[in-house]
């Protein structure tokens, strides 16, 4: 137990009694249900004010990159041109594209089209066409802090079915963020996302999900987009994580391309959509740090 007048364990530089003492006392007074997977969050994923400010600044560059993609994307453009522009924007703002060379990934952003769920690799040979739905996923590192977000784009006039999938997927993400309340549980996010997807006749990818982010690309906790309320890790102020439901038109099952080792597709080749934001759990709710 940290002594009251010692520096707080969070690295804020404040005395413990003026920082996280009340926080720790609240958690210590809570009862956790082992059978519902309820657990305390590890202290290493609780961010102090300096950390949060760093993630916010990284989020500004990340959002600027996605804004640029929105300006450029159109029928006839190849995905490598988008990737190159994203890379140059990130670097010109003093940041680093986190995806590039991450576990061997060869590009600076992921661009996933139609039945590609995630991790689509940009290529000069991949030309966007009228009717496509496209996810661009971008993660930026600025001064050691990571921010992660993705957006869906509809190319020209898309089918009513495609438009509905994109719209409902965004609603799933928004409902998941709304459910991410301090002193509630991680399962609330998945319950909100999954319920809305299933109600609309869609499936939810379970092999992949959201994650903690901030001082590294992927941190605890894994964020599922299906689940039950009041289960899983306790959500507390200072946690930063992504909510990024991947919603499929058909089966929830996916396959990974054996040749490139990255591209994840729906097993039945029906459409998939994804939206993602980085959020901070605050004392009163959530704050979006990158979108």
Q: Which residues contact 94 (CB under 8 A, 6 or more apart)?
A: 61, 142
Question: Which of left, alpha, beta for 94 (phi over 0: left; psi -120 to 50: alpha)?
Answer: left
Average pLDDT of the chain?
97
Tokens linked to 195: 């319920």
Q: What is the DSSP letter of 122?
A: P
47 within 8 A of 219, measured Cβ to Cβ: no
Say if residue 160 is preceded by a cis peptide, omega within 30 of 0: no
Q: What is the mean pLDDT of residues 192-216?
A: 98
Q: What is the mean pLDDT of residues 3-31?
A: 95
CATH architecture of 34-290: Alpha-Beta Complex (3.90)
Q: What is the mean pLDDT of residues 32-45?
A: 96
The DSSP code sequence of 130-199 is TT-EEEEEEEEEETTEEEEEEEEEE-SS--HHHHHHHHHHHHHHHHHHHH--TTSBTHHHHHHHHHHHHH
Which residues does residue 173 pair with via DSSP β-bridges, in sequence order? none
Tokens linked to 9: 């364990």
> What is the pLDDT at residue 2?
85
> What is the pLDDT at residue 198?
98
Whole-number Å distance between alpha carbons of 87 and 80: 10
Q: What is the mean pLDDT of residues 167-175?
A: 98
What are the sequence ranges of the domains in the chain? 34-290
Among 96, 94, 79, 191, residue whose Cα is nearest residue 136: 79
State the CB neighbour count (10 A cutoff) for residue 128.
Answer: 21
Among 259, 188, 186, 250, residue whose Cα is nearest residue 222: 186
Residue 16 has pLDDT above 90, yes or no: yes
pLDDT digits (tens, 9 = 90+) for 158-169: 999 999 999 999
pLDDT digits (tens, 9 = 90+) for 80-136: 999 999 999 999 999 999 999 999 999 999 999 999 999 999 999 999 999 999 999
Q: Which residues contact 59 (CB under 8 A, 6 or more apart)?
A: 140, 147, 149, 278, 289, 290, 291
Among 89, 93, 128, 88, residue whose Cα is nearest residue 111: 128
Q: Which residues contact 140 (CB under 8 A, 6 or more apart)?
A: 58, 59, 61, 62, 65, 90, 95, 96, 97, 98, 146, 147, 148, 290
Tokens linked to 238: 């200072």
115 within 8 A of 271, measured Cβ to Cβ: yes
Q: What is the mean pLDDT of residues 144-167?
A: 98
Residue 1 has pLDDT above 80, yes or no: no
Residue 288 has pLDDT above 80, yes or no: yes
pLDDT digits (tens, 9 = 90+) for 55-78: 999 999 999 999 999 999 999 999
Residue 214 has pLDDT above 80, yes or no: yes
User: Which band of pLDDT confidence, cut at 50, 70 and 90, is reported for residue 231?
Assistant: very high
Tokens linked to 159: 């089918």
SS3 at position 21: helix
Whole-number Å distance between alpha carbons of 247 and 278: 18
> What is the pLDDT at residue 132?
98
């Amino acid at each position: 137990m940290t002594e009251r007048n010692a520096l707080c364990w969070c690295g804020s530089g404040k005395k413990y009694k003026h920082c996280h003492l009340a926080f720790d006392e609240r958690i210590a007074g809570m009862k956790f249900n082992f059978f519902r997977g309820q657990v305390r969050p590890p202290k290493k994923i609780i961010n102090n004010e300096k950390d949060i400010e760093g993630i916010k600044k990284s989020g500004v560059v990340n959002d600027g990159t996605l804004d640029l993609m929105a300006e450029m994307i159109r029928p006839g453009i190849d995905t490598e041109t988008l990737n190159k522009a994203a890379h140059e924007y990130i670097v010109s703002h003093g940041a680093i594209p986190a995806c590039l060379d991450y576990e061997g990934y060869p590009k600076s952003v992921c661009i996933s089209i139609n039945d590609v769920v995630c991790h689509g690799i940009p290529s000069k040979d991949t030309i966007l066409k009228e009717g496509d739905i496209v996810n661009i996923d971008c993660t930026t590192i600025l001064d050691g802090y990571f921010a992660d977000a993705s957006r869906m784009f509809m190319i020209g006039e898309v089918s009513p079915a495609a438009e509905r999938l994109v719209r409902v997927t965004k609603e799933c993400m928004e409902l998941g963020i709304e459910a991410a309340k301090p002193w509630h549980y991680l399962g609330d996010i998945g319950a909100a996302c999954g319920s809305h997807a299933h109600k609309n006749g869609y499936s939810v990818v379970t092999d992949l999900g959201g994650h903690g982010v901030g001082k590294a690309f992927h941190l605890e906790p894994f964020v599922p987009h299906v689940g039950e309320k009041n289960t899983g890790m306790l959500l507390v102020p200072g946690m930063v994580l992504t909510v990024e439901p991947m919603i499929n038109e058909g089966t929830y099952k996916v396959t990974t391309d054996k040749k490139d080792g990255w591209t994840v597709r729906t097993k039945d080749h029906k459409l998939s959509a994804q939206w993602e934001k980085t959020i901070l759990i605050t004392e009163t709710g959530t704050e979006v740090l990158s979108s």
